[in-house]
Amino acid sequence: MATTQQQPTAEEPAQSHRVIANYKATRSRKVKAVCCCCDSESAPVKPNAHGEPDLWNMGRGWSEAPFPHDFMHQDGSVGSMYTCPSCNKRLCAGEALTLRWARTELTA
């Protein structure tokens, strides 16, 4: 018990360095998917074997772009990517949404 992993436990961790993730672990050992377009979060669901949110347990309208669970994207996030119901609606309507990492590059 030398070091404890300091996980951000607050809902909105006040960090200058923003961690980009496709999903977040909750204290109740569940995971929340994070939308790759607007950063909105799904309800906490049981993780699958790789610790990723299981799409089948997620709210209606969420979609998943499957990637290997250890695949690292150019924004530093890892694994499958998720899109929330409202962004899916906009995508279906033909709107071009800016993915998170494109925004990150613009503001960096």
Alpha carbons 43 and 53: distance in angstroms, whole number: 10
Mapping DSSP to helix (H, G, I), strand (E, B) and coil, where does residue 47 land? strand
CB of 86 to Zn ion, least distance (A): 6
Alpha carbons 49 and 79: distance in angstroms, whole number: 13
Does position 37 bind Zn ion by CB under 5 A? yes
- Residue of 61, 74, 89, 96 whose CA lies nearest to 22: 74
Nearer to Zn ion, 81 or 87 (CB): 87
Applying CB under 5 A, among 33, 78, 81, 87 the residue interacting with Zn ion is 87
Does position 84 bind Zn ion by CB under 5 A? yes
Nearer to Zn ion, 44 or 82 (CB): 82
Applying CB under 5 A, among 31, 33, 34, 35 the residue interacting with Zn ion is 35
CB of 83 to Zn ion, least distance (A): 6
Does position 33 bind Zn ion by CB under 5 A? no
Chain residues 59-78 in contact with Zn ion, contact rule CB under 5 A: none
Residue 6's alpha-carbon distances to 3, 25, 27, 44, in angstroms, are 9, 13, 12, 20
